[in-house]
Chains A and B, each alone.
Chain A
């Protein structure tokens, strides 16, 4: 029978054309996405340029350096971009805003990184699969919680509670990690049958009642500790001895709340990095006699270090850009201080509060675009760096696996 289809050469040509068209469309889609992201940056930059041109151009010193302020002998950093009455002085100091953003991100990472990394290490390397499959959806639920809700709970419930139980909260921060370490030590002292029941893989379950017990005991003992060490008034002691003023809505509370929001992201990426380390590396180390801790610290973590580093950087980018949590839990005070017990004001919260009321095209409006540009540049750089590091890591793993 004669073959009804067109000759082979024509079919090949058509297939080649279709392949090329598909490749072109997909490439165009990818390029389009990159172009639109860069276009956002270009748009922000174009809106910012008129700030530095013309008669009333702003100098970098006005933006970043301290200026003389009424009522103070020394120049201060102030953010007060709108004049209210004729003759009002305006201050465009953006330094407190950038400082506040970095401070909030730092405290969020301080809370989130140990917890998320610890969870990732445990779940990737020691947890039995049954427990791990239950853990992932729970963490994804944490990620799904809107920032507004977290900020609301932090501002309305957490901040007043921490203020009323300041000694207890600080004691908890110290006691809970110590309690976990103590649990490991105590387990080693238990008789053999009990020790077998409390296996390290299931530590996620049996540690929980222990930690609740430690927490309750700490909160119960806290007033006694406060009376013994600080004469009954921790806030007064902090103010007199360390010169640290306490504000109910402070960087520590913001850090706790933002840390909660950032943990799932860091956990997911770190766990991927750790699970991607070839099993042969860990097994080889243990076969040569290394303990679990030595394998983890000297072999597995260095192998996964680039992935973990990129996870932390992506968490940092998310923490820097988070708006609602900072807006609701921080008090929005544009202070430049190291004290974690004082309020802060971030770039994103400033944009959210002030953009609706800034006259379009005015100095205030363009300054807010400058704030947006600074945030965009920071997040873009951090994420690009993190992605670059992860790509190198994947290539390195392929080489490692190919070698064994």
Chain B
């Protein structure tokens, strides 16, 4: 009897499980929204902006699960190369493109890249937490970091004793970013007056590595994005000619009063009159929305002024609609 019964029960069980599976599948299909924002969202560029781009990307994928993020952050200089070669459509950079890079893009595509400002940031000059140094003038900073001393210093500053500071290791050890970095270029333009770095500057692939290196060496000095500072280091204020110290507060950075502040850019490969694909359009909407700007603050950067935000939102709305 058991032998005859079992196959029949198996059939009934088989039918029920098929019905259950079909029900589950239709429920799952019903949960997925009818979404036209699907596809890859790629960006190649700045390491400074890596955390910010990732946070925005994650917010976007929460709303539109069909979007696939492909973010690569090896340094600002990789963005123009990738944009010109066509490997990416978005290029975050922590500095603006220089003429050589713009020309290379125009030569390849026939139109200039679209430049969008997405946040403001400041570079801080950092020393070890036990270092008593409080402020540096522009000339002193240049004499420490450069070998060209274009800002006007007479002698190179190589020892802490020249600044009146006593530390276990007297020789100043320099830490900074490598050539691929926008932070490297910005510091060179603003703090070194366009001069060249000393040869013995230790080059690191990211701002977090610079901060870690300075926090581990008492006689070190370095520069990094403000958002990467940890408790192991402290920022040195800039002393201007009148002897007043300028420190990187959000207001000073937003207005441009702190000289080592900068805009963070996102470059787009968009032909004039063309429409943005769905994922990129949704991404930019998120970036310029209030939610996107709170993410900017959470990451340690400074939000743009209201006028600038409104300008860029208008530009985004003026684009032809997504097909």
- A159 vs B173: C-alpha distance in the bound complex, in angstroms? 14
- Indicate whether A356 sits within 8 Å of B180 (C-beta atoms), given known contacts A239-B171, A247-B200: yes
Residue of A245, A246, A356 with most chain B CB atoms under a 10 A cut-off: A356
Q: Does B22 contact A (CB under 8 A)?
A: no
Cβ–Cβ contact A359 & B104, under 8 A: yes
Residue of B75, B195, B216 with most chain A CB atoms under a 10 A cut-off: B216
Q: Which of A70-78, A111-119, A174-182, A298-306 contacts B (4 or more CB under 8 A)?
A: A70-78
Other-chain contact of B85, A88, A156, A332, A360 (Cβ < 8 Å): A360
Cβ–Cβ contact B170 & A239, under 8 A: yes
Q: Does B29 contact A (CB under 8 A)?
A: no
- Indicate whether A246 sits within 8 Å of B169 (C-beta atoms), given known contacts A78-B199, A356-B75: yes
14 A-B pairs in the complex with CB atoms less than 8 angstroms apart: A71-B148, A88-B194, A156-B212, A246-B171, A248-B173, A248-B213, A332-B178, A332-B203, A353-B179, A353-B205, A354-B179, A357-B180, A359-B100, A360-B85
CB neighbours of B311 from chain A (8 A): none
CB neighbours of B75 from chain A (8 A): 356-357
Cβ–Cβ contact B81 & A85, under 8 A: no
Cβ–Cβ contact B98 & A85, under 8 A: yes
CB neighbours of A353 from chain B (8 A): 178-180, 203, 205
Tally of B interface residues using CB under 8 Å: 42
* Residue interface bits A51-74, CB-to-B below 8 A is 1, else 0: 000000000000000000111100
For residue B174, which residue of chain A has the nearest CB?
A333
Q: Does A271 contact B (CB under 8 A)?
A: no
- A332 vs B209: C-alpha distance in the bound complex, in angstroms? 13
Residues of A whose CB lies within 8 Å of any CB of B are 69-72, 78, 80, 82-86, 88, 156, 159-160, 163, 235-236, 239, 245-249, 327, 331-335, 342-343, 353-354, 356-360
Other-chain contact of B200, A82, A163, A235, A335 (Cβ < 8 Å): A335
CB neighbours of B217 from chain A (8 A): 160, 163, 248
- A360 vs B83: C-alpha distance in the bound complex, in angstroms? 12
* Residue interface bits B90-115, CB-to-A below 8 A is 1, else 0: 00000000111100100000000000
- A354 vs B178: C-alpha distance in the bound complex, in angstroms? 9
CB neighbours of A356 from chain B (8 A): 74-75, 77-78, 81, 180
Q: Does B285 contact A (CB under 8 A)?
A: no
